[in-house]
Amino acid sequence: MSTDLSRLPDGSHDPVSVGLDVPHESAALHVTGTALYTDDLVPRTHGVLHAHPVTSPHAHARVTDLRPEPAYGVPGVVRVLTGADVPGVNDAGVKHDEPLFPHEVMFHGHAVCWVLGETLEAARRGALAVEVDYEPLPSLVTVTEAIAADSYQGGRPTLARGDVESALADAAHVFSGRIDFAGQEHFYLETHCSLAHLDEAGQVFVQSSTQHPTETQEIVAHVLGLASHEVTVQCLRMGGGFGGKEMQPHGFAAVAALGARLTGRPVRVRLTRQQDMAMSGKRHGFDAQWRAGFDDSGRLVALDATLTSDGGWSLDLSEPVLARALCHVDNAYWIPHLRLHGRVARTHKTSQTAFRGFGGPQGMLVIEDVLGRCAPLLGLEPRELRRRNFYADGQETPYGQPVRHASRITAAWDQLVERADVAAREAEVAAFNAAHEHTKRGLALTPVKFGISFNFTAFNQAGALVHVYKDGSVLINHGGTEMGQGLHTKMLQVAATALGVPLDRVRLAPTRTDKVPNTSATAASSGADLNGAAIKHACEQVLARLRDVDAGRGLPWDELVRTAYFSRVPLWAAGFYATEGLHWDSTIMRGHPFKYFAYGVAAAEMEVDGFTGAYRTRRVDIVHDVGDSLSPLIDLGQIEGGFVQGAGWLTLEDLRWDASSGPGRGRLTTSSASTYKLPSFSEMPEVLHVSLLERAHEDGVVYGSKAVGEPPLMLAFSVREALRAACAAFAPAGRPVSVDLASPATPEAVFWALQQARGACTSEAEQARNEPSEAEQARNEPSEAEQARNEPSTKPPAPVVQGSPGLVPDQPPPDAPALHPTSEEVGEP
């Protein structure tokens, strides 16, 4: 079975669509502005009501009174939706910890109720008229505050192997450190949007920009007190998702559906950019404390770390994000003894959620930071230190899964060193740096190993429908959603290949819950693997029947299809796929959660201006493993786009919350495009070379391909490490210096880092302190002034401390709860 899945059809006469460079299936619609997104349906729908939220001006408060009546005095206001209107369950989440209409507001911008108006302007004015009384309550805004207050939620998993304490005691070198790094706003260009109406039988039809139509359907049903078969959710396409539309759309869809149910009219909920940023969850920021031990040759012998994610006000996906983070702290490195604790801080912020990489990037950031900071202290070039620690074939991850194709890491690395002419360019960089006092360059390579599959085994299933019509044309449906990643393009290619028809004979219909039920989110990079296999399964059922009809005659497709119809042979099939060989026990954090690993290596060269900390990306080279590419143009787009998005997270994108004690406490101060900066053209690498890893066929996956959505994002650590290298070059006499670089590495953060390097004392004695000085401890504890500033500040991370015990990561209490075995599952645990 698995070999069949990855093998191309026999017979050279069949057109083979997979592997062809084809543009996105909607490209012509995109460029002409005729591709429709959910909000584009509004002017095409009669009598739509518009919704506007009434939002909390407090980070945490009890709602003591809510008076909607004044809103009805505003011309055009039709209805105010409050908790009293909910016929079913007043909850927008799958954990039942997210009241849709809260009595206690848990973050600044939390919607208390929604106003429906004939126009958006009427709804907005109505929302201003609603009177709400609040009793402010104490709030926790930063993860540091939450740690100090012991404020956690959900399970506190530990991933461990070997004997960390003994290994650290015996290690030749022990270092410790801490880094508090920021999350990321998805900033899909299309904000959250849902449009709901009732059909003639009173069933609810919701068009939603959602990565998870099935769960949107379930939440709408439970809010309205309906069964799932009374609710249909359709997603035409999304203007970007990146994980931000995996869980977050449900509540907005439920508000639209509730409004439609109560008024009998179509209701549109579309967030403005400011609302979207202030109200919806983001990538988790983390605090990480670590101790790392190395042997004399620079090999990692032990890692002890505690990762605290900033979960925001409710759990959402924080537990599985944390689990994936812990499962990716190893990245591409063999760490024999290891103990990783994880916990989810509860803070009064948006409920942080999935974002491309799903904790993987945060886990990897920890080990890349450890290696980047320790290399100079070990007297090794970072490139050499990393390579020396790569997994070898036969080794297992800390959670007990063999690292299949581990040697591909070293192969890709060496390939890139050669292709990107790394050795010669390192010499050029050194020469440039010697000749330039105020401008320095840095060149760095980093690897990616990323596990593919949902950690939670049950989600690794998919369904599809394939219809062959009498004229030989083909229509396919599958459970995955299109958010720009090119899933639909790949699925068309898979269907055309499996059926042996030209690509233009296959069409794809929008994702709907009444076509393919019980789908998993389009997430975890798994869309093509799962849905592709399901489509192929459906196609093969039809093909098997057609083969019987053909009986060796070799009829052309159209004639064969017609003959089959008249022979009363069904020409459609439902396909299904469940990934084989997976098992995972989240209570002990062990198992075989991933079908395979995707690999990649990147080399980035950055140039830093010593006057300002501003930087440019001079050149980036990437070798990435997509298996046998289903669609090279699409895969290239995912690699490049993921890389730039990762670079944005690590450099420019700077989420700040008001952490002062003033009236704006808890407010996201970067809640707009003018204050939150995505990469623009100016951040594009001046030279960019991307190649796909050769001889990368992945057995057991659809046509030998590999998932590509998330892994390339983590190639961007090369940018961060190149910035670190450039900062280090500002050190006097060019001596190796351990650079503490904040994340995001904004120009300001880079300026402070290079200033630190400039002032670095080069004496070994100063570098290798055994105890953190008072000053350092003070830096670990944010000063009052820093507390008052927006969070996270651009203060550099605490400097690395050499020697044991140094900084010891927080250890969990004996009664710390494990992750629930079904912590990712939908519905009641």
Partner 1 sequence: MDGGPATAEGGVTISVNGRSLPLGDARPHTSALDWLRAQGLTGAKEGCAEGECGACAVLVARPDPHDAGTTRWTAVNACLVLAVALDGQEVVTAEGLGSPTPVERLHPVQHEMAVRGGSQCGYCTPGFVCSMAAEFYRPDRVPGEASDEVGPNGFDLHALSGNLCRCTGYRPIRDAAFALGSPDADDVLAARSDTPPPAPVGTRLTHPDGVFVRPRSLAEALELLVEHPDAVPVAGCTDHGVEVNLRGLRPSYVVALDRLPELRGLVVTDDVVELGAALTLTEIEARLSDTDAEVPLLSAVLPQFASRLIRNAATLGGNLGTASPIGDTAPALLALDATLVLVSVDGEREVPLASYFTGYRETLRKPGELIRAVRVPRPPAGLTGFHKIAKRRFDDISGVAVALALDVTGGVVTRARIGLGGVAATPLRALATEEALTGRHWDADTVAFAARVLADEGTPIDDQRASAAYRSAMLGQALPRLWHESRESR
Comparison of 519 and 645: residue with beta carbon closer to partner 1: 645
Helix 487-499 and helix 527-550, axial crossing angle in degrees, nearest 10:
20
Query: Is 670 one of the binding residues for partner 1 (CB under 8 A)?
Result: yes
Comparison of 199 and 504: residue with beta carbon closer to partner 1: 504
User: Residue 429: enclosing H or E segment and its boundaries?
Assistant: helix 422-435
Terminal Cα-to-Cα distance of the chain (whole angstroms): 33
Query: Is 771 one of the binding residues for partner 1 (CB under 8 A)?
Result: no
Among 399, 643, 649, 717, binds partner 1 (CB under 8 A): 643
Among 669, 691, 780, 787, binds partner 1 (CB under 8 A): 669
Comparison of 358 and 752: residue with beta carbon closer to partner 1: 752
Which residues from 353-392 bind partner 1, rule CB under 8 A?
Answer: none
Which residues from 250-309 bind partner 1, rule CB under 8 A?
Answer: 272-274
Comparison of 370 and 750: residue with beta carbon closer to partner 1: 750
Among 8, 20, 36, 818, binds partner 1 (CB under 8 A): 36
CA distance 142 to 346: 9
Backbone φ and ψ for 343, nearest 5 degrees, come out as -150, 155
Query: Is 461 one of the binding residues for partner 1 (CB under 8 A)?
Result: no
Query: Is 3 one of the binding residues for partner 1 (CB under 8 A)?
Result: no
CA 469 to chain centre: 39
Query: Is 28 one of the binding residues for partner 1 (CB under 8 A)?
Result: yes
| Stretch of residues binding partner 1 (CB under 8 A), selected from 55-63, 106-114, 118-126, 261-269 | 118-126
CA distance 694 to 714: 20
Query: Is 16 one of the binding residues for partner 1 (CB under 8 A)?
Result: no
CB of 122 to partner 1, least distance (A): 5
Comparison of 23 and 817: residue with beta carbon closer to partner 1: 23
Which residues from 504-563 bind partner 1, rule CB under 8 A?
Answer: none
- Binders of partner 1: how many residues, by CB under 8 A? 91
Query: Is 76 one of the binding residues for partner 1 (CB under 8 A)?
Result: yes
Comparison of 455 and 743: residue with beta carbon closer to partner 1: 743
- CA distances for 132 relative to 391, 483, 748, angstroms: 58, 37, 40
CB of 654 to partner 1, least distance (A): 7
Among 5, 6, 24, 289, binds partner 1 (CB under 8 A): 24
Sorted by sequence, the CB contacts under 8 Å of residue 328 that are 6+ apart come out as 359, 360, 361, 363, 364, 449, 450, 451
Comparison of 482 and 721: residue with beta carbon closer to partner 1: 482
Helix 527-550 and helix 557-566, axial crossing angle in degrees, nearest 10:
70
What does R_g of the chain's alpha carbons equal in angstroms? 27
CB of 190 to partner 1, least distance (A): 5
CB of 217 to partner 1, least distance (A): 23
| Stretch of residues binding partner 1 (CB under 8 A), selected from 65-73, 389-397, 482-490, 554-562 | 482-490
Comparison of 716 and 739: residue with beta carbon closer to partner 1: 716
Which residues from 410-449 bind partner 1, rule CB under 8 A?
Answer: 438
Query: Is 156 one of the binding residues for partner 1 (CB under 8 A)?
Result: no
Among 207, 216, 446, 485, binds partner 1 (CB under 8 A): 485
Neighbours of 817 (CB within 10 A): 14
Query: Is 789 one of the binding residues for partner 1 (CB under 8 A)?
Result: yes
CA distance 534 to 532: 5
Which residues from 683-702 bind partner 1, rule CB under 8 A?
Answer: 683-686, 688
What CA dihedral angle connects 490, 492, 496 and 498, to 10 degrees?
60
Query: Is 634 one of the binding residues for partner 1 (CB under 8 A)?
Result: yes
The DSSP annotation for 774-788 comes to HHHHHHHS--HHHHH
Sorted by sequence, the CB contacts under 8 Å of residue 197 that are 6+ apart come out as 45, 204, 205, 260, 265, 266, 267
Among 299, 677, 735, 820, binds partner 1 (CB under 8 A): 677
The DSSP annotation for 276-334 comes to HHHHS--BPPEEEEEEEEE-TTS-EEEEEEEEEEE--SS-TTHHHHHHHHHTTTTTTB-
Comparison of 24 and 724: residue with beta carbon closer to partner 1: 24
CA distance 163 to 167: 6
CA distance 224 to 231: 10
Among 7, 45, 73, 75, binds partner 1 (CB under 8 A): 75
Which residues from 728-767 bind partner 1, rule CB under 8 A?
Answer: 746-748, 751-752, 755
- Active-site residues, by number, are 710
Among 7, 31, 392, 759, binds partner 1 (CB under 8 A): 31
Among 117, 447, 463, 711, binds partner 1 (CB under 8 A): 117
- Strands 204-208 vs 193-198: parallel, antiparallel or unpaired: antiparallel
CB of 826 to partner 1, least distance (A): 26
Which residues from 192-251 bind partner 1, rule CB under 8 A?
Answer: 237-242
Buried b (16+ CB within 10 A) or exposed e, 450-480: bbbbbbbbebbbbbbbbbbeeebebebbbbb
CB of 207 to partner 1, least distance (A): 14
Q: Look-up: residue for tokens 């909910």?
A: 86
Does the CA dihedral 87-820-139-347 come out positive or negative? negative
- CA distances for 613 relative to 609, 746, 748, angstroms: 5, 8, 6
CB of 239 to partner 1, least distance (A): 3
3-state secondary structure of 91: coil
Which residues from 596-615 bind partner 1, rule CB under 8 A?
Answer: 611-612, 614
CB of 28 to partner 1, least distance (A): 4
Sorted by sequence, the CB contacts under 8 Å of residue 689 that are 6+ apart come out as 419, 420, 619, 620, 621, 622
DSSP annotation of 747 reads H
CB of 808 to partner 1, least distance (A): 31
Q: Cα angle at 752 between 747 and 757, to 5 degrees?
A: 120
Amino acid in position 338: L
| Stretch of residues binding partner 1 (CB under 8 A), selected from 519-527, 528-536, 587-595, 668-676 | 668-676
Backbone φ and ψ for 368, nearest 5 degrees, come out as -70, -35
Query: Is 654 one of the binding residues for partner 1 (CB under 8 A)?
Result: yes
Comparison of 117 and 593: residue with beta carbon closer to partner 1: 117
Omega prior to 805 cis, within 30 of 0: yes
CB of 433 to partner 1, least distance (A): 16
**Paired tokens of 823:** 């912590």
CB of 118 to partner 1, least distance (A): 6
CB of 88 to partner 1, least distance (A): 31
Among 33, 552, 662, 814, binds partner 1 (CB under 8 A): 33
Query: Is 34 one of the binding residues for partner 1 (CB under 8 A)?
Result: yes
